[in-house]
Amino acid sequence: MPGHHIATMNTLAAFCSGLALALLFCLALAMMNGALHHRRRPRTYEQEETTTHLDELLSRDTRA
């Protein structure tokens, strides 16, 4: 099909498309870095109270 062009781009359009491609690449790298950092972070669990209500009711300190 001579005479038909799928895409014609001037210099500014080619520069902008390269810039967009570079930004997408940087975004992908940042997302991968964030995912690796998230996976390697040690889990911290909130400490539960050492005594529960039942422990207070059944403790040796209280007299029946």
Does residue 4 lie in a domain region? no
Walk along the chain (64 residues) and give the pLDDT tens digit of each residue: 567 777 788 999 999 999 999 999 999 999 998 888 776 656 666 665 566 666 677 776 655 5
Q: Give the number of domains in the chain.
A: 1
Does residue 18 lie in a domain region? yes
Does residue 15 lie in a domain region? yes
- Amino acid identity, position 29: L
What domain range includes position 34? Answer: 9-38
Does residue 26 lie in a domain region? yes
Cα(17)–Cα(44) distance, rounded to whole angstroms? 44
Cα(54)–Cα(11) distance, rounded to whole angstroms? 76
**0.75 exceeded by pTM:** no
Does residue 25 lie in a domain region? yes
Does residue 56 lie in a domain region? no
Cα(42)–Cα(39) distance, rounded to whole angstroms? 8
- For every residue of the chain, DSSP letters joined together read -TT--S----HHHHHHHHHHHHHHHHHHHHHHHHHHHHHHSPP-PPPPPSS-HHHHHT-TTS--
